[in-house]
């Protein structure tokens, strides 16, 4: 039901933009107003969320160590998995962010008769995740060719490299396929893997369907629904948006407005959803803290003033026993009066 | 409650209809209420223990009362819901980890089958992600825009008594072992969630006795067992007597001795019950062999800290005794015995909470001259670090053949492994004192499985649950037991020594449990000893 609902929501979004943009005067609403609002909400929301996180302190040093910590000279320190210096932490974080290192460790457990539990390496999630995220990243960078004039060389190069295989006319981008395929695979995984299926919420299906639809509308626009897709007009609009002087020249097909509207939805949705893991992964204390907590004191800004049950109070309660047992005391017993 | 027979449970974990074995529950998890019955919950804290703790300066344990999880009415305070939501709000402001972990989970499921409670019970709510969702759903409802607008559609739900009961159930079916956090792409640590859940529950007087009684004992007498100073001393001296019988060497352990170089602190369980006693004998023999100038303390006579399983205030209060005592006695540095959660507190919390320990010196081994720079600020060294350094410098005369009755394997305790990175020091020691093998690779080091009874869950009334959650660990031991005739499961944790013993007796009879220091004690050749053949090491009955 939850995934069906996600499809429904995306279909409604498509209808709104597809029908809406055909009404006279509305192209400016969908082509200018909506993108500006979406970008504003995205940036504002993103910053707001990160500031909200940063406002809460990190009271304790709670790094998760996944390897040997730094100790004696002859014990080999695992510098990536139990980092001791800032450089080591940065290396750990970079690997996490660029290679999804923790996911790479993933195993799948099964219980057999005996009982016997087995753990097999399982890299599907890692693979789908990598394909999906890198495709997403490159798709986003490639889009810069629309917004920037002249097109930076990196972007032009990516564009060229991405369509190297020259399948179709214009030739297909590998990352478009990666994005659509990746989203589809992640979605299928949600349905097929029983654990994931049980925990999945609308919040989990919806962004995948949305991104899938963004990818599909983009590909349709490039390869199939070329009618009314006037690249010059689109580039003019995109550059106009960036330079705050947007104009819409001539007619642009509905598919373009649908694509843009879905992207706008994603932007608006982003800061208020789990997609914020983009920002959160950098701030996760179990990964970004050094494992040097015995060598360098970590400060808790709200460290409460709590004293132990005092030794004096302890000795007062047990002095007699302590003296009897020959345990040294601070205060001797009062002289016996008989 | 009686524990099911081995055959029964062995079948049940494989064939019982559960998410772990392949059955998908038909109802949404939000619609499945918890049901408490004898055997599936740990007993609530005794009223007088809660009252005692509440009376202690700096601690707050309100709403002490007599109640039972099996009753419909938990006698919660009138404004319980406000208390919980305000408590959550306060903690969101105090812990960035909580906010990040609430916001960033993508429900990718990488953590789902990493939890020993899930593997042993198949209960979907024991998937780490689901455990966090129990809280996240409330967070969404009251603290996020999407939750407020879309409600259940966005995975939000209202805080109800039913939810509170669910929290109690599942916050006490998590041993804060952090295995899930190793696999999560964002390092989401369900232990943090469980810690917060337990803190919140204490605000409305919901806690378990197996934790709060040790906390109050530890506060008053200095140790969990409630051993008073003379008894504590007696216990250690009994061990010295045993050592004398076995080796002919008389050891006179010093207590509360001012001016000693080193203060030694270990979990009180080590001087209280088998098999920890043998580990404590190992310490005594080691210190005697090297002539360490040290002292035990009866005031700081507990290395463990059940405050970690309660709330950060009680953790701080209990831990503060260590530095207070080190200062009073005027020692130079502190040496800590073998314990898991104790070392999480010492490694990650102590200095922050109760430091800076500027009245101590950077620990330096008086025997080898090694300076323990990795403890430059806390001034507290782990016994395995200390011993490994002694061995490396050839300061111990070790006769490995004295452990020839032992074929060991090594259990990494959760906290030294994942909250400290103490992995290879114990292994280095093992290499020098005993013949041993590793368990399968996905069950050791940072991927180690919990004993299943940590965080104060080693209580008898939930034995079936413990045997289930301990299954992944037991299963890995079984593998080396059958393949390599392993007969001893060694570890560096006092809770493990107790809990793994029950676990082995149930799943792998014939495998015993010991501390690393016991094996060191077995192998150590003492000067002037008149030791005969001890065919069971320090455990030999004369
Ligand atoms: C660069 C910015 C990033 C964006 C725009 C992004 C976006 C997304 C999106 C749209 C999804 C799919 C949501 C879903 O599955 O419901 C997702 C899922 C995921 N992301 Fe990211 N992400 C980013 C960064 C990262 C990083 C740095 C990591 C790794 C540390 C990461 C790890 C994951 C994982 C593991 C999933 C779960 C896949 C699943 O749903 O099964 N992401 N991300
Ligand atoms: S591994 Fe992390 S992100 Fe994935 S479901 Fe578990 S807690 Fe959430
Ligand atoms: S911390 Fe350990 S017990 Fe708790 S949810 Fe994670 S894996 Fe399970």
Q: Give the confidence band of A167 by pLDDT, cuts at 50, 70, 90.
A: confident
Shortest-distance ligand to the CA of residue A102? 1
Between CA B430 and CA B433 the distance in angstroms is 5
pLDDT of A334 over the 90 cut: no
Mean pLDDT, residues A312-321: 95
- pLDDT at residue A318 is higher than 90: yes
What is the nearest CA distance from A39 to chain B, expressed in angstroms?
18
Give the ipTM.
0.94
In ligand 1, the atom with minimum distance to the C-alpha of A136 is 5
Is residue B151 within 8 angstroms of chain A, CB to CB? no
User: Rounded to 5, what percent of chain B is helix, strand, coil?
Assistant: 55, 5, 40
Task: Report the gap between the CA of A270 and the closest CA in chain B (Å).
Answer: 11
* CB neighbour burial string for B85-108, b if at least 16 within 10 angstroms, e if fewer: bebbeebbebbbbbbbbbbbbbbb
CB count within 10 Å of CB B250 equals 11
Q: Is residue B2 part of a domain?
A: no
Within 295-314 of B, beta carbons closer than 8 Å to A belong to 298-299, 312-313
Strand A116-121 to A107-112 pairing: antiparallel
Helix, strand, coil share of chain A (percent; to 5): 60, 5, 35
Write the residue in A129, A304, A309 that is nearest to B219 by C-beta.
A309
> Is any ligand 3 atom within 6 A of the Cβ of residue B128?
yes
From A81, A115, A297, residue closest to B351, measured CB to CB: A297
Q: What percent of chain B has pLDDT over 70?
A: 100
Q: Containing H/E element for B263? A: strand B262-265
Cα atoms in the 13 Å half-sphere on the side-chain side of B222: 29
Is residue B11 a part of any domain in this protein? no
The torsion of the CA quartet B8, B12, B15, B16, rounded to 10 degrees, works out to 140
pLDDT at A237: 92
In this complex, is the C-beta atom of A301 within 8 Å of any C-beta atom belonging to chain B?
no
Tell me, what's the pLDDT at A60? 97
Measured between alpha carbons, how far is B515 from B280 in angstroms, rounded to an integer? 9
Cβ(B198)–Cβ(B207) below 8 Å: yes
Residue B5 lies in a domain: no
Which pLDDT tens digit goes with each residue over B336-364? 999 999 999 999 999 999 999 999 999 99
Domain that holds residue B138: 18-207
Interface contact A61, partner B, CB < 8 A = yes
Q: How far is the CA of B419 from the centre of ligand 3 (A)?
A: 13
Distances (CA, A) of B159 to A86, A313, B64, B192: 41, 42, 22, 20
Q: Is the pLDDT of residue A232 over 90?
A: no
Task: Name every chain B residue with its beta carbon within 8 A of the beta carbon of A81.
Answer: 421, 446
pLDDT at B532: 85
* Together in a domain, B143 and B115: yes
Whether residues B353 and A300 touch (CB distance < 8 A) is answered with yes
Nearest CB neighbour to B380, from listed A64, A294, A326: A294
**In terms of CA atoms, which chain A residue is nearest residue B299?**
A311
Task: Tell whether B10 is covered by a domain.
Answer: no
What chain A holds in terms of domains, given with CATH numbers, is: 2-306 (1.20.950.20), 309-338 (no CATH)
Biggest distance spanned by C-alpha atoms of chain A:
113
Residue A293 to residue B96, Cβ atoms within 8 A = no
Amino acid A68: pLDDT = 97
| B128 CA closest ligand 3 atom index | 5
Nearest residue to B303 (alpha-carbon basis) of B275, B347, B272, B339: B339
Give per-residue pLDDT as tens, A199-227: 999 999 999 999 999 999 999 988 877 77
The pLDDT tens digits for B117-137 are 999 999 999 999 999 999 999
- Distance in Å, CA B275 to ligand 3 centroid: 26
Q: Is A285 helix (H, G, I), strand (E, B) or coil?
A: helix
The residue with greater pLDDT, B531 or A94, is: A94
Is residue B419 within 6 Å of ligand 3 at its C-beta?
no
Q: Residues B57, B89: one domain?
A: yes
Domain boundary among B179, B207, B235: B207
Sorted by sequence, the CB contacts under 8 Å of residue A94 that are 6+ apart come out as: none
C-alpha distances in angstroms, B376 versus A296, A297, B190, B369, B420? 7, 9, 30, 15, 15
Is the pTM value of this prediction over 0.80? yes
Cβ-nearest to B99 among A5, A53, A286: A53
- Mean residue pLDDT of chain A comes to 92
The share of chain B scoring above pLDDT 90, in percent, equals 91
Q: What is the pLDDT of residues B293-340, one digit of tens each?
A: 999 999 999 999 999 999 999 999 999 999 999 999 999 999 999 999
The ligand minimizing its distance to the Cα of B121 is 3
pLDDT number for residue B57: 94
| Same domain membership, residue B494 and residue B463 | yes
CB-ligand 3 contact for B190 (6 Å cutoff): yes
My answer on whether B203 and B117 are in the same domain is: yes
- For residue B176, the ligand 3 atom closest to its alpha carbon is 1
Contacts for B160 with CB less than 8 Å, ≥ 6 apart: none
pLDDT value for B438: 98
Cβ atoms B376, B329 nearer than 8 A? no
Sorting pLDDT into bands at 50, 70 and 90, what band is A338?
A: low
Within this chain, do residues B373 and B512 fall inside the same structural domain, yes or no?
Answer: yes
pLDDT the model gives residue B3? 81
Identify whether residues B441 and B390 lie together within a single domain.
yes
d(C-alpha A226, C-alpha B233), whole Å: 88
Q: List CB contacts (< 8 A) between B56 and chain A.
A: 309
Q: Do A61 and B352 touch (CB under 8 A)?
A: yes
Mutation choice for A interface testing from B128, B254, B374, B506 by most A CBs within 10 A: B374
- How confident is the model over A327-333, as a mean pLDDT? 92
Rounded to 5 degrees, what angle do the CA atoms B214, B220, B221 make?
A: 85
Tell me the C-alpha distance between B263 and B325, whole Å: 9
How does pLDDT run across B381-429, given as a tens digit for each residue?
999 999 999 999 999 999 999 999 999 999 999 999 999 999 999 999 9
DSSP designation for A111: E
Rounded distance, CA A218 to CA A215, Å?
5
Q: Note whether B200 and B223 are same-domain residues.
A: no
Whether the Cβ atoms of residue A266 and residue A34 lie closer than 8 Å to each other: no
Same domain, B194 and B220: no
Q: Which of A54, A71, A92, A268 to mutate to test the interface with B (most CBs of B within 10 A)?
A: A71
B321 in helix, strand or coil? helix
Looking at chain A, the whole-number percentage of residues with pLDDT higher than 90 is 77
- How confident is the model at residue B19, as a pLDDT? 81
- Position A184 pLDDT exceeds 60: yes
Does residue B515 surpass a pLDDT of 90? Answer: yes
Q: Which of the listed residues B192, B207, B222 is the one where a domain comes to its end?
A: B207
Terminal Cα distance for chain B, rounded: 37
Q: Which residues of A touch B101 (CB under 8 A)?
A: 284
Cα of A11 to nearest chain B Cα, Å: 18
pLDDT of residue B66: 96
Average pLDDT (B11-27) is 83
Tell me which chain B residue has its CA closest to the CA of residue A76: B424
Q: Residue A48: is its pLDDT beyond 90?
A: yes
Tens digit of pLDDT for each residue in B164-175? 999 999 999 999
Cα A275 to ligand 1 centroid, rounded to whole Å: 7
CB B486 within 8 A of CB B457: no
Q: How far apart are CA B193 and CA B314, in angstroms?
A: 18
Residue B257 lies in a domain: yes
Interface of A with B in 71-130 (CB under 8 A): 71-72, 74-76, 78, 81-82, 96, 100, 102-103, 105-109, 111-117, 119, 125, 129
Which pLDDT does position B441 carry in this prediction? Answer: 94
DSSP string, A32-94: IIHHHHHHHHHHHHHHHHHHHHHHS---S--PPP-SPPS-STTSPP-TTTS--SHHHHHHHHH
Is residue A117 within 8 A of residue B479, CB to CB? The reply is no
Look at B348 and A63 and tell me if their CB atoms are within 8 Å. yes
pLDDT, tens digit, for every residue of B208-237? 999 999 999 999 998 898 899 999 999 999
φ, ψ for residue B305, nearest 5 deg: -150, 95
Chains A, B: CB contacts within 8 A come to 334
Residue B209, Cβ density class (10 Å: 0-12 exposed, 13-18 middle, ≥19 buried): middle
Ligand 3 centre from B175 Cα, in Å? 6
Q: Are residues B133 and B244 in the same domain?
A: no
Res. B1: pLDDT tops 70: no
For range B505-511, the mean pLDDT:
95
Shared domain for B228 and B164, answered yes or no, is no
Contacts 24+ apart (CB under 8 A), A45-49: A45/A268, A45/A270, A45/A271, A45/A272, A46/A270, A46/A271, A46/A276, A46/A279, A48/A271, A49/A271, A49/A276, A49/A279, A49/B103
Name the nearest CA neighbour of B201 among B143, B144, B152, B134: B134
Q: Are residue B264 and residue B159 in the same domain, yes or no?
A: no
pLDDT over 80 (residue B10): yes
The tally of domains found in chain B comes to 2
Phi, psi of A190, rounded to the nearest 5 degrees: -65, -30
Last residue of a domain, one of B172, B192, B207: B207
Distance from CA of B53 to the nearest CA of A (A): 11
Residue in A with minimal Cα distance to B380: A294
Q: What's the mean pLDDT in B367-379?
A: 97
Q: Is A336 on the interface with B (CB under 8 A)?
A: no
Crossing angle between the packed helical segments B312-329 and B209-221, to the nearest 10 degrees: 20
Same domain, B199 and B324: no
Per-residue pLDDT reduced to its tens digit, A234-283: 989 999 999 999 988 878 888 999 999 999 999 999 999 999 999 999 99
Tell me which residue of A193, A207, A200, A216 sits closest to A133, measured CA to CA: A207
CA atoms of B509 and B507, how far apart (whole Å): 6
């Amino acid at each position: 039901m939850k995934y069906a609902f996600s499809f429904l929501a995306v279909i409604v979004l498509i209808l709104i933009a597809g029908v809406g943009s055909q009404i006279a005067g509305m192209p400016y609403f969908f082509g200018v107003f909506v993108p500006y609002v979406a970008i504003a909400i995205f940036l504002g929301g993103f910053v707001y969320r990160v500031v909200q996180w940063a406002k809460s302190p990190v009271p304790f040093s709670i790094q998760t160590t996944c390897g040997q910590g730094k100790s004696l000279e002859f014990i080999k320190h695992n510098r990536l998995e139990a980092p001791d210096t800032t450089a080591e932490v940065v290396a750990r974080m970079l690997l996490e962010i660029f290679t999804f290192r923790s996911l790479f460790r993933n195993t799948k457990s099964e219980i057999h008769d005996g009982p016997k539990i087995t753990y097999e390496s399982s890299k599907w999630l890692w693979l789908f995740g990598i394909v999906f995220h890198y495709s997403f990243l490159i798709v986003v960078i490639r889009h810069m060719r629309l917004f920037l004039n002249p097109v930076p060389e990196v972007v032009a190069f990516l564009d060229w490299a991405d369509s190297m295989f020259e399948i179709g006319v214009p030739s297909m981008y590998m990352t478009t396929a990666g994005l659509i395929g990746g989203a589809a695979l992640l979605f299928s995984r949600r349905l097929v893997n029983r654990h994931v299926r049980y925990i999945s919420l609308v919040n989990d299906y919806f962004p995948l369907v949305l991104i899938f639809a963004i990818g599909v509308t983009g590909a349709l626009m490039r390869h199939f629904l070329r009618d009314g897709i006037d690249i010059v007009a689109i580039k003019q609009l995109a550059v106009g948006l960036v330079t705050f002087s947007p104009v819409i020249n001539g007619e642009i097909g509905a598919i373009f407005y649908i694509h843009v509207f879905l992207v706008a939805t994603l932007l608006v949705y982003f800061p208020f959803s789990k997609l914020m893991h983009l920002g959160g992964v950098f701030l996760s204390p179990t990964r970004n803290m050094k494992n040097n907590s015995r060598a360098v004191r970590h400060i808790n800004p709200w460290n409460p003033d709590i004293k132990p049950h005092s030794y004096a109070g302890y000795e007062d309660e047990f002095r007699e026993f302590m003296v009897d047992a020959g345990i040294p005391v601070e205060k001797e017993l009062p002289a016996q009066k008989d | 409650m009686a524990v099911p027979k081995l055959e029964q449970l062995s079948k049940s974990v494989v064939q019982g209809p559960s998410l772990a074995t392949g059955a998908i529950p038909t109802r949404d998890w939000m619609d499945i209420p918890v049901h408490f019955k004898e055997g599936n919950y740990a007993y609530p804290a005794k009223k007088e223990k809660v009252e005692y703790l509440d009376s202690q300066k700096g601690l707050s344990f309100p709403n002490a009362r007599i109640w039972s999880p099996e009753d419909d009415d938990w006698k919660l305070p009138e404004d319980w819901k406000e208390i919980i939501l305000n408590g959550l709000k306060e903690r969101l402001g105090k812990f960035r980890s909580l906010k990040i972990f609430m916001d960033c989970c993508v429900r990718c499921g990488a953590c789902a089958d990493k939890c020993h409670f899930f593997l042993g019970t198949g209960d979907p709510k024991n998937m780490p992600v689901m455990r966090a969702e129990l809280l996240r759903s409330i967070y969404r409802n009251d603290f996020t825009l999407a939750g407020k607008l879309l409600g259940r559609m966005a995975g939000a739900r209202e805080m109800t008594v039913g939810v509170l009961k669910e929290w109690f159930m599942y916050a006490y079916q998590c041993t804060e072992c952090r295995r899930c956090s190793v696999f999560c792409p964002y390092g989401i640590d369900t232990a943090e969630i469980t810690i917060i859940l337990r803190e919140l529950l204490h605000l409305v007087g919901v806690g378990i006795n197996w934790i709060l009684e040790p906390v109050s004992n530890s506060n008053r007498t200095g140790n969990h067992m409630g051993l008073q100073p003379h008894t504590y001393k007696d216990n250690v001296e009994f061990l010295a007597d045993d050592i004398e019988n076995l080796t002919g060497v008389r050891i006179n352990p010093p207590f509360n001795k001012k001016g000693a170089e080193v203060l030694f602190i270990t979990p009180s369980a080590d001087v209280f019950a088998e098999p920890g006693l043998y580990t404590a004998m190992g310490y005594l023999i080691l210190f005697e062999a090297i002539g360490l100038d040290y002292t035990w303390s009866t005031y700081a006579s507990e290395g463990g800290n059940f405050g970690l399983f309660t709330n950060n205030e009680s953790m701080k209060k209990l831990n503060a005794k260590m530095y207070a005592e080190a200062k009073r006695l005027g020692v130079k540095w502190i040496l800590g015995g073998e314990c898991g959660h104790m070392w999480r507190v010492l490694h990650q919390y102590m200095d922050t909470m109760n430091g800076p320990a500027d009245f101590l010196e950077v620990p330096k081994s008086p025997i080898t001259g090694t300076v323990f720079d990795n403890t430059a600020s806390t001034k507290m060294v782990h016994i395995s670090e200390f011993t490994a350094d002694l061995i490396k410098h050839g300061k111990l005369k070790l006769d490995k053949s004295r452990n020839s009755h032992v074929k060991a394997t090594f259990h990494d305790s959760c906290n030294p492994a994942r909250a400290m990175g103490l992995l290879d020091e114990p292994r280095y020691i093992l290499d020098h004192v005993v013949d041993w093998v590793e368990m399968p690779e996905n069950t050791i080091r940072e991927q180690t499985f919990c004993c299943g009874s940590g965080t104060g869950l080693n209580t008898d009334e939930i034995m079936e649950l413990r045997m289930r959650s301990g299954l992944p660990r037991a299963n890995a031991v079984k593998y080396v037991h059958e393949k390599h005739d392993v007969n001893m499961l060694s570890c560096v944790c006092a809770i493990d020594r107790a809990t793994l013993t029950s676990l082995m007796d149930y799943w792998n009879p014939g495998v015993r449990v010991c501390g690393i220091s016991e094996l060191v004690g077995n192998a150590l050749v003492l000067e002037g000893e008149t030791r005969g053949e001890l065919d069971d090491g320090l455990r030999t009955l004369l």
